[in-house]
Amino acid sequence: MSDGHGAINRVQAKAQEVAKEDYEKAKVILSEAARSGSYLYPFSGIFYFLTHRSLWKPFLSRLLPTIGLAVGVTLAMFFFTYLPQLAILVFVNGPLAVFTTVILILNESSTIVNLVARNFLLQDAILDTFDGTLVSKNATRVVGEGRQLKPGNDPIARLGRVIKNPFSKFTPKAIIRYVMYLPLNFIPVVGTIMFIIIQGRTRGKSVHGRYFQLKGWSASQQKDWLQRHHVPYTTFGTVATLLEMVPIASTFFSFTNTVGAALWAADIEQKNTDMTTGTAPNLRAAAKKAE
């Protein structure tokens, strides 16, 4: 009997130890996220976009077809998949399945819209918005590495021919990873939160793809940078993902998130924030070569 009690006590002690470790890790992650301020950039992007009319041109040029796509996809997903997915989730989520199914379908719709729109409708407009925001923040030197710039005051009108290829397209690997993590939604509440955070981590890795391209960083340099700053990028990506899950307005938030990412890049480039100890991967790569 005493052995049974001893085993229970050991299990409880181990559980408390694991919980304490997880709590400490969570504290460090939250502290790093708060210190970086990356979670604010999607909201800064909204404000900056709304107050700088010159940045609206790419968005307005793609507005109607993209809204039509978003409405069509979202309505079709609710019509065809709500009840089947609800029937599955109700077994694991109970009454909460009504809400978790809605969140899941919004996320699925957002993913489909982003996949189609970014590859066929928005790629050039998103690229112009990112570069135009950098120009408006006087980061012309870095933009000039990837495209020709004209004289003038309008940041979008200044954008000339693209020298370096634009953002990479949505890859099959990203789709496979998305489908692979879908079952997390079967775990009540916590699973849905984990799913969104994982999507945010994936989203975060891509937000500065154009910036890395303009800087001329290699794939290994980009990987090194993202690994060292994975918390800020995951935080930005999670907020961006949540905003882009809003029905119909997802296209608007795709552009404002792009503006927010460009503002963040401009701050890294111009203000030498705490994320830019040295000039990032270039110096680290040189140091490794010297060794």
pLDDT tens across 227-286, in order?
999 889 999 999 998 898 887 788 899 999 999 999 999 999 887 555 654 444 444 444
- Does 192 fall in a domain? yes
- Does 12 fall in a domain? no
Which one, of 179, 199, 190, lies nearest residue 243 by Cα?
Answer: 199
Q: How many domains does the chain have?
A: 1
| Tens of pLDDT, residues 79-125 | 999 999 998 888 878 888 888 889 888 888 887 887 788 778 888 89
Domain that residue 180 falls in: 39-268
Torsion, Cα of 249, 254, 269, 165 (10° steps): -160
CB neighbours of 44 closer than 8 A, spacing ≥ 6?
A: 260, 263
- Does 208 fall in a domain? yes
- Does 214 fall in a domain? yes
3-state DSSP assignment of residue 281? helix
- How many residues make up the chain in this entry? 291
For residue 160, give the H/E element and its range: strand 159-162
- Does 289 fall in a domain? no
- As given in the structure block, the two tokens for residue 266 are 């401009």
Given pLDDT bands bounded at 50, 70 and 90, which one contains residue 170?
A: low
pLDDT beyond 70 at 18: no
Q: How many CB atoms lie within 10 A of CB 280?
A: 20
Phi/psi-derived region of residue 272, left when phi > 0, alpha when psi is between -120 and 50, beta in every other case? left
| Tens of pLDDT, residues 113-122 | 877 887 788 8
Given pLDDT bands bounded at 50, 70 and 90, which one contains residue 58?
A: very high
| Tens of pLDDT, residues 175-224 | 677 677 777 767 767 777 888 888 888 888 889 999 999 998 988 999 99
